[in-house]
């Protein structure tokens, strides 16, 4: 009797797992299915043509460029700052201050994305417009700055976590050799936490790529390829939000599923890279 | 003698009151006894009017639920065609193709225009049609070429589902190109706040939406106001339409009739449009 | 030389800390400064008496009440869908799955966690359209579809926190009951789950926070500009984050903008409150777990 109950419960749990995982695959399936007619028309065309539906061009190239540029720029802005902050929290700052700072960073992860976008429109956009004396203020730079603030807490917490995971023995060894906290950080912890840092960067990159609100609200959404960081640009995510209106059978509508597909595949690649690195690190550890 | 006049006057006033009161409540009375949900989506220019009408109806009849979504004229047509909403608002007349495909019935309840707007601080207040075409195509990119300061022109345009954009493109730009590097905003309200915040911006917006936060630009000498649209002087005119799939029935029919009623027309006027017919 | 490099690092780290703190405080201060003025019952109830509004006797038209209710209903719906499935999956992965299967599923759920929210929303929308066309034309983007899509979004959070909470229990705790003759299920229900409750609850609160703040998913699956308090799960609804997004670009009067600031402040306080709650619960429960007499 008990055995039936045990097996039954296990089967129920297994069923839930299958349901959950099938959702992931269903999402991929739906994207591919809806984008299929467009893909059949030529994958290369889709990925490299500009977006001009009135002239029959349904390519998502400008949006791919937009997403890549904004994400990379935000990473470029956020990485040094996050690294410095994580140094501060884990080693350089005095204990009490570091604890407070860590709380502040943890609290930042709770701030909704729409708030960043909202404040961005009213605070940052006019600032950039005045500072550069030109452009509408809604451009790659503004979006990248806001996005950088958005992804920093995740990166900082991840870095601190990696620093904390460095084996105690390493730190003790450095201590016994007379190194102070900073030197331990720079010459012992940092090299060991190298993979952790890369993983953190990749995860933040994934987050930046997938963000919708910030780029929808402050990047301008133009359909041209950007030529400078003060140009208005549209990301894949904002494109989905903007074009959802079109007719269900039209190529425009299908293009947003192509965008979804591209995003899905980008993320999968990032996740796979992260797993490779994590696996290597744990092997090294063992 | 005096007293009689006073009484007579009071009687007249009183009966006037009674008569008109009957009229006013009569328009909303059509909703009495109705219940259920009415779903509206589509054009963003219509939203203030829709919200006001919905508020009055829902205050008087709590059993009725009216929901209003945005999205643009393209969304309106598609959603009403697919049966996702009861009324799809558009800022342009649906094409024959769309009407045939979804069996749409078109109800026009207002006249509106699409005007070019700039920031109030901008000293350029008049442009020729050729200049407007060149600006939006990106051929003219500095305000000094049209009499303003030496600053780059920031273009704002609407998304592709927009009826406002469609009308502007067809009538003001003669189907010319809109520069791909223009900033895209998603509604009339968004266009207004974008231009209101950007001293060097230029865009186009429904005439009914123009208020003191943006400055209208005269096109070939005609300033886009609701008056010039009515008189036919301002050529970039368009209607505001509510489309239904087939003949409207029940709650939908009551709502559409309400838009044509006297109270409805007042609401349309308050929104800055010209009631039609 | 090295001395200089080290000094530079210290100076650099402090600057970074300062930059980040300045950024976050300017955001919060700006919102507080602009939104505090809008913080009074009129913001939420728009002129209608609060009691009447909450009892649904009178409709609120100019206030945030419908949006707040919409958000609350949405969160309850999506969390109640995601919770059972997420818990069960997390338990399965931690307790019953063997190594290879666990790895494969972990990869799938990592991908699910990484999918951008708008793609999840797109999926929800496509699902609604698909069902609308092929099954029943009364299925439309609505509260239910949004709840479902949001459940998909937060599922990986719940799975992951449940799994980690269970896996981080020490071997002693795991083996004790088994050694005393309990079955696997009894061990799970009476020993393991209570011990990992803190982790699981913080996962739930994380999920609640995520549902409350998400905009991209609900934008595509049923949130509208004006709908009042939803009467059923098949109705369109309003939500706080969408209201903020909508007002930010489409405010027509300064009062509306003030409302937007107030709404932004409200949402911010709500999410920070949830975050603080998760933290407190974690501390409280671990205190209880250790010091229970």
Structure tokens at A227: 């030529």
Which of C59, C140, C224 comes nearest B68 by C-beta?
C224
Contact of A66 with chain B, judged by CB distance below 8 Å, is answered with: no
Name, in order, each residue with C-beta under 8 angstroms of A52's C-beta and a sequence gap of 6 or more.
A223, B180
Question: If you average pLDDT over residues A98-126, what whole number do you get?
Answer: 88
Residue A87 pLDDT > 80: yes
| Chain B to chain C Cβ contacts (< 8 Å) | 65
Distance CA A215, CA A238 (A): 6
Residue B95: band (very low, low, confident or very high) from pLDDT cuts 50, 70, 90 = confident
Note whether C99 and A23 are within 8 A (CB).
no
pLDDT surpassing 80 at residue A286:
no
**What string of DSSP letters covers C172-207?**
HHHHHHHHTT--HHHHIIIIIHHHTHHHHHHHHHHH
Portion 135-164 of C in contact with A at CB < 8 A: 152, 155, 159
Residue C104's CB: how many other CB atoms inside 10 A? 12
| A139 chain-B contacts, CB cut-off 8 A | none
Mutate one of B82, B181, B194, B201 to test the A interface: name it (highest A CB count within 10 A): B181
Is the pLDDT higher at A274 or at C281? A274
Q: Are residues B103 and B117 in the same domain?
A: no
A142 lies within 8 A of chain B by CB: no
Residue recorded with tokens 């501060």 = A88
Residue A243 has a pLDDT of 82
Chains in touch with B (≥3 Cβ pairs < 8 A):
A, C
CB contact under 8 A, B69 and C225: yes
- Summarize the confidence of residues B27-47 as an average pLDDT: 80
Chain B's closest residue to C133, CA to CA, is B82
- Does B15 map to a domain? no
Inter-chain residue contact B184 with A223, CB threshold 8 Å: yes
Are A191 and A218 found together in one domain?
yes
Best residue in B44, B75, B184 for a mutation probing chain A (most A CBs within 10 Å)? B184
Average the pLDDT over each of A49-63, B22-36, C53-67, C216-230 and give the range with the smallest value. Answer: B22-36
Q: Are residues A38 and A52 in the same domain?
A: no
Cβ-contact C236, A79 below 8 angstroms: no
Asked whether residue C26 is assigned to any structural domain, the reply reads no
Q: For residue B69, which phi and psi values (nearest 5 degrees)?
A: -120, 160
Q: Which domain holds residue A34?
A: 2-42
Q: What is the DSSP letter of B224?
A: -
Q: Kindly determine whether residue A256 and residue C122, on different chains, have CB atoms separated by under 8 Å.
A: yes
Nearest CB partner across the interface for C248, out of A34, A121, A206: A121
Bridge-based pairing of strands B36-42 and B87-90 is parallel
pLDDT of residue B17: 44
> How many other CB atoms sit within 10 Å of the CB of residue B15?
10
Q: For residues A177 and A109, state if they share a domain.
A: yes
Tell me how close the Cα of A78 comes to any Cα of chain C, in angstroms: 10
Residue B40, in any domain of the structure:
yes
Side-chain half-sphere CA neighbours of B206 within 13 A: 29
The pLDDT of residue C288 is 65
Examine the domain organization and report whether B245 and B222 are in the same domain: no
Please tell me the distance from the alpha carbon of residue B85 to that of residue B228, in angstroms, as a whole number.
34
Q: Quick one: pLDDT band at residue C292, thresholds 50, 70, 90?
A: low
Is B207 found in the same domain as B107? no
Domain, as residue range, for C55: 39-291
Of B74, B179, B194, the CB nearest to A245: B74
Short-list B268, B90, B231, B199, CA closest to A125? B199
Q: Give the pLDDT confidence of C114-129 residue by residue, as tens digits.
A: 899 999 999 998 888 8
DSSP sequence for A72-89: HHHHHHHHHHHHHHHHII
The answer to whether residue C53 sits within a structural domain is yes
pLDDT averaged over every residue in chain A: 85
Cα angle: A127, vertex A129, A135; to 5 degrees: 160
Nearest one of A52, A64, A115, A116 to A234, comparing CA atoms: A64
Whether the pLDDT of residue B52 is over 70: the answer is yes
Q: How far apart are CA A232 and CA A253, in angstroms?
A: 23
Cβ-proximal residues to C247 (8 Å cutoff; 6+ apart), any chain: C256, C257, C259, C260, C263
Cα C59 to Cα C46: distance, rounded to the nearest angstrom: 10
Pairing of strands B154-158, B201-206: parallel
- Is the N-terminal amide bond of A251 cis, ω within 30° of 0? no
Cβ–Cβ contact B156 with A under 8 A: yes
For position A196, what pLDDT does the model report?
A: 84
Residue B248's SS3 state is: coil
The closest of B224, B257, B254, B248 to B238, measured between CA atoms, is B224
C8 within some domain: no
Say how many domains are in chain A: 2
Q: Do B183 and A252 touch (CB under 8 A)?
A: no
Does residue C153 have a pLDDT over 80?
yes
Q: Looking at residue B193, which CATH number applies to its domain? A: 3.40.190.10
Write out chain C residues lying below 8 Å of B83, CB-based. Answer: 132, 137
Higher-pLDDT residue of C38, A121: A121
**CA nearest A82 in C: which residue?**
C16
Per-residue pLDDT reduced to its tens digit, C35-57 = 887 777 777 777 777 777 777 77
Contacts of residue A264, defined as CB under 8 A and 6 or more positions apart, other chains included, come to A27, A28, A31, C115, C119
Q: Is the pLDDT of residue B226 over 60?
A: yes
pLDDT reported for residue B16: 46
Mean pLDDT of A150-174: 88
* Contact between A224 and B74 using a beta-carbon 8 Å cutoff: no
SS3 assignment, position B112: strand
Question: Between C197-213 and C254-291, two packed helices, what is the crossing angle to 10 degrees?
Answer: 180
Q: What is the pLDDT of residues C278-288, one digit of tens each?
A: 778 777 766 66
Q: Which residues, in sequence order, are CB contacts of A261 under 8 Å at separation 6+?
A: A28, A31, A32, A35
Q: Does A213 lie in the same domain as A274?
A: yes
Contact in structure between B182 and B157 (CB atoms under 8 Å)? yes
Per-residue pLDDT averaged across B197-221, rounded? 89
pLDDT at B248: 86
Question: What is the band of B60 on the pLDDT scale with cuts at 50, 70, 90?
Answer: confident
Q: Let me know if residue C28 belongs to a domain.
A: no
- Token output for B48: 């203030």
pTM for this entry: 0.86
Inter-chain touch A116–C110, beta carbons under 8 Å:
no
Query: Using an 8 Å Cβ cutoff, are B233 and B139 in contact?
Result: no
Stronger pLDDT, C141 or B21, i.e. the higher one: C141
Residue B264 CA: distances (Å) to CA of B21, B28, B46, B57, C74: 16, 10, 13, 11, 34
- So what's the pLDDT on residue B18? 44
Among candidate residues C111, C27, C117, the one with its CA nearest the CA of residue A148: C27
B7 has pLDDT over 60: no
- Average confidence (pLDDT) over B154-159: 90
pLDDT at C293 over 60: no
Helix (H) or strand (E) holding B118: strand B104-118
* Helix/strand/coil (H/E/C) assignment for every residue in B152-208: ECEEEEECCCCHHHHHHHHHHCCCCCCCCCCEEECCHHHHHHHHHHCCCEEEEEEHH
A113 and A38 part of one domain? no
Chain A, nearest residue to C187 by Cα: A6
pLDDT above 90: residue B251:
no
First-to-final CA distance of chain B: 48
Q: Which residue has the tokens 């070019």?
A: B116
Cβ(A163)–Cβ(A189) below 8 Å: yes
A158 & A275 share domain: yes
pLDDT score at C10: 87
Length of chain A (residues): 286
> What integer is the mean pLDDT of A194-218?
89
A178 touches chain B (CB under 8 A): no
Of the candidates A12, A119, A211, which has its C-beta nearest C31's C-beta? A119
Contacts C244 to A, Cβ<8 Å: 114-115, 118
Query: Average pLDDT of chain B?
Result: 84
CA nearest A228 in B: which residue? B181
A35 shares its domain with A163? no
Does A51 lie in the same domain as A117?
Answer: yes
User: Can you tell me the distance from the alpha carbon of C91 to that of B146, in angstroms, rounded to the nearest whole number?
Assistant: 69
Question: Which DSSP string corresponds to A193-257?
Answer: THHHHHHHHHHHHHHHHH--HHHHHHSB--SSPPSSTTS-B--HHHHHHHHTTS-TTSHHHHHHH
Instruction: Please judge whether B78 and A248 are an interchain contact, meaning their C-beta atoms are less than 8 angstroms apart.
Output: yes
Chain B residues touching residue C252 (CB < 8 angstroms): 48, 189, 192, 209
Residues in a beta bridge with B244 = B105
Angle at C214 between CA C139 and CA A16, to 5 degrees: 65
Q: What is the mean pLDDT of residues A23-45?
A: 83
pLDDT over threshold 80, residue A2: no
Count structural domains, chain C: 1
Is the Cβ of B56 closer than 8 Å to some Cβ of chain C?
no
Q: What is the mean pLDDT of residues C221-236?
A: 82
pLDDT tens string C172-190: 888 888 888 888 888 888 8
Task: Verify whether the Cβ–Cβ distance A234 to B184 is below 8 Å.
Answer: yes
CATH number of the domain residue C120 falls in: 1.10.3720.10
Q: Alpha helix locations (H) across chain B?
A: 2-29, 47-60, 73-82, 96-102, 129-137, 163-167, 188-197, 226-231, 250-260, 262-270
Pairing of strands B64-71, B87-90: unpaired
Contact A212 C118 (CB under 8 A): yes
Q: Nearest CA to A143 among A62, A237, A244?
A: A237
The reply to whether A31 and A70 lie within a common domain is no
Whether C126 contacts chain B with CB within 8 A: no
The interaxial angle of helices A251-285 and A236-243, nearest 10 deg, is: 150
Q: Give helix C65-91 / helix C143-167 axis angle, nearest 10°.
A: 40
Region C3-14: mean pLDDT is: 85
Note the pLDDT of residue C133.
Answer: 79
Length of chain B: 277
| B57 and B92 housed in the same domain | yes
> Residue B62 sits in which domain range?
35-111+240-275
Question: C158's torsion region: left (phi>0), alpha (psi -120 to 50) or beta?
Answer: alpha
Is residue C24 in some structural domain?
A: no
Residues in chain C closer than 8 A to A205 (CB atoms): none
Selecting from B50, B67, B187 the residue whose C-beta is nearest the C-beta of C250 gives: B187
User: Reduced to 3 states, what is the DSSP secondary structure of residue B42?
Assistant: strand
Residues B48 and B125 in one domain: no
In a domain, C34, yes or no: no
Domain CATH number, residue A236? 1.10.3720.10
Q: Chains that contact A by 3+ CB pairs under 8 Å?
A: B, C
Give domain status of residue C16, yes or no. Answer: no
Phi and psi, residue C9, nearest 5°? -60, -45
Same domain flag for B123 and B231 = yes
Please name which of B71, C226, B124 lies closest in space to residue A247, comparing C-alpha atoms: B71
> Same structural domain for residues A17 and A77?
no
Here the tokens at position B275 are 């009631």
pLDDT > 80? residue A39: no
Average pLDDT, chain C: 84
How far apart CA A214 and CA A151 sit, in angstroms, is 12
At C78 the pLDDT is: 92
Residues B145 and B229 in one domain: yes
Asked if C225 and B194 come within 8 Å (Cβ–Cβ), the reply is no
Average pLDDT on A67-83 reads 93
Task: Answer yes or no: is C183 within a domain.
Answer: yes
Same domain, A13 and A119: no
Q: How far apart are CA C143 and CA C236, in angstroms?
A: 6
Q: Judge residue A108's burial from the number of C-beta atoms within 10 Å of its C-beta, 0-12 exposed, 13-18 middle, 19 or more buried.
A: buried
Q: Which residue has the higher pLDDT, C83 or A46?
A: C83
Domain shared by A17 and A101, yes or no: no
- Report the domain count for chain B: 2
| Beta-ladder partners of B118 | B202, B215
């Amino acid at each position: 009797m008990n055995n039936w109950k045990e097996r039954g419960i296990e089967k129920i749990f297994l069923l839930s797992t299958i349901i959950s995982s099938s959702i992931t695959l269903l999402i991929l399936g739906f994207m591919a299915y809806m984008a299929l007619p467009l893909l059949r028309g030529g994958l290369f065309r889709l990925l490299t043509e500009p977006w001009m539906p009135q002239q029959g061009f349904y390519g998502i190239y400008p949006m791919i460029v937009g997403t890549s540029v904004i994400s990379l720029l935000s990473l470029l802005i956020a990485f040094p700052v996050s690294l410095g902050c994580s140094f501060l929290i884990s080693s350089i700052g005095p204990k009490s201050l570091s604890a407070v700072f860590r709380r502040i960073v943890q609290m930042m992860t709770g701030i909704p994305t729409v708030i960043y976008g909202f404040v961005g429109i009213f605070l940052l956009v006019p600032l950039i417009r005045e500072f550069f004396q030109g452009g509408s203020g809604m451009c790659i730079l503004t979006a990248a700055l806001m996005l950088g603030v958005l992804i920093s807490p995740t990166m900082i917490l991840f870095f601190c976590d990696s620093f904390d995971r460095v084996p105690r023995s390493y730190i003790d060894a450095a201590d016994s050799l007379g190194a102070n906290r900073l030197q331990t950080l720079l010459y012992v912890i940092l090299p060991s936490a190298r993979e952790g840092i890369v993983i953190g960067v990749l995860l933040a990159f994934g987050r930046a790529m997938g963000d919708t609100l910030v780029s929808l609200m402050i990047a301008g959404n133009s359909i041209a390829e950007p030529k400078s960081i003060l140009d208005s640009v549209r990301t894949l995510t904002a494109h989905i939000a903007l074009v959802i209106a079109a007719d269900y059978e039209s190529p425009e509508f299908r293009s947003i599923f192509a965008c979804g597909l591209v995003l899905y595949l980008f993320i999968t690649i990032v996740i796979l890279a992260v797993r490779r690195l994590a696996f290597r690190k744990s092997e090294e550890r063992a | 003698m005096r007293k009689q006049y006073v009484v007579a006057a009071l009687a007249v006033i009183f009966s006037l009151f009674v008569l008109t009161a009957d009229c006013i409540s009569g328009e909303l009375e059509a909703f009495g006894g109705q219940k259920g949900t009415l779903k509206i989506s589509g054009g963003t220019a219509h939203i203030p009017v829709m919200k006001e009408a919905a508020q009055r109806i829902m205050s008087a009849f709590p059993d009725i639920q009216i929901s209003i979504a945005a999205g643009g004229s393209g969304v309106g047509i598609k959603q009403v065609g697919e049966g996702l909403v009861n009324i799809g608002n558009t800022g342009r007349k649906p094409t024959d193709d769309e009407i045939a495909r979804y069996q749409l019935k078109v109800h026009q309840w207002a006249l509106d225009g699409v005007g070019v707007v700039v920031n109030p601080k901008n000293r350029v207040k008049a442009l020729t049609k050729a200049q407007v075409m060149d600006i939006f195509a990106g051929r003219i990119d500095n305000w000094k070429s049209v009499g303003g300061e030496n600053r780059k022109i920031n273009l704002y345009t609407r998304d592709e589902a927009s009826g406002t954009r469609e009308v502007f493109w067809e009538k003001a730009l003669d189907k010319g190109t809109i520069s791909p590097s223009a900033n895209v905003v998603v509604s009339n309200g968004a266009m207004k706040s974008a231009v209101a915040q950007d001293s060097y911006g230029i865009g186009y917006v429904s005439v009914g939406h123009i208020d003191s936060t943006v400055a209208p630009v005269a096109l070939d000498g005609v300033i886009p106001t609701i008056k010039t649209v009515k008189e036919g002087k301002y050529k970039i005119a368009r209607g505001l339409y509510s489309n239904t799939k087939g003949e409207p029935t029940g709650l939908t029919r009551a709502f559409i009739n309400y838009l044509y009623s006297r109270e409805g027309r007042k609401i349309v006027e308050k929104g800055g449009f010209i009631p039609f017919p | 030389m090295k001395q200089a490099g080290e000094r530079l690092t210290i100076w650099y780290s402090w600057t970074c800390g300062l930059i980040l703190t300045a950024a976050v405080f300017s955001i919060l201060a700006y919102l507080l400064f602009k939104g505090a003025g809008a913080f009074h019952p009129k913001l939420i109830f728009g002129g209608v008496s609060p009691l009447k509004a909450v009892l649904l006797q009178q409709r609120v038209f100019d206030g945030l009440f419908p949006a707040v209710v919409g958000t609350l209903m949405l969160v309850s719906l999506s969390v109640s869908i995601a919770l059972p499935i997420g818990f069960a999956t997390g338990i399965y992965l931690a307790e019953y799955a063997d190594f290879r299967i666990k790895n494969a599923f972990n990869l799938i759920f990592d991908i699910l966690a990484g999918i951008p929210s708008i793609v999840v929303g797109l999926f929800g929308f496509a699902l609604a359209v698909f069902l609308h066309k092929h099954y029943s034309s009364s299925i439309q983007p609505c509260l239910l579809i949004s709840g479902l899509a949001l459940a998909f979004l937060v599922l990986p959070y719940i799975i992951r926190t449940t799994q980690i909470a269970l896996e981080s229990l020490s071997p002693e705790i795991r083996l004790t009951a088994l050694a005393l003759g309990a079955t696997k299920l009894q061990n799970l229900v009476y020993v393991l789950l209570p011990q990992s409750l803190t982790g699981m609850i913080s996962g739930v609160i994380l999920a609640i926070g995520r549902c409350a703040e998400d905009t991209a998913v609900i934008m595509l699956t049923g949130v509208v500009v004006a709908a009042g308090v939803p009467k059923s799960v098949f109705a369109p609804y309003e939500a706080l984050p969408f209201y903020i997004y909508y007002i930010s670009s489409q405010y027509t009067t300064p009062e509306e903008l003030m409302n937007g600031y107030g709404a932004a402040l409200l949402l911010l306080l709500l999410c920070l409150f949830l975050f603080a709650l998760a933290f407190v619960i974690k501390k409280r429960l671990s205190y209880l777990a250790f010091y229970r007499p």
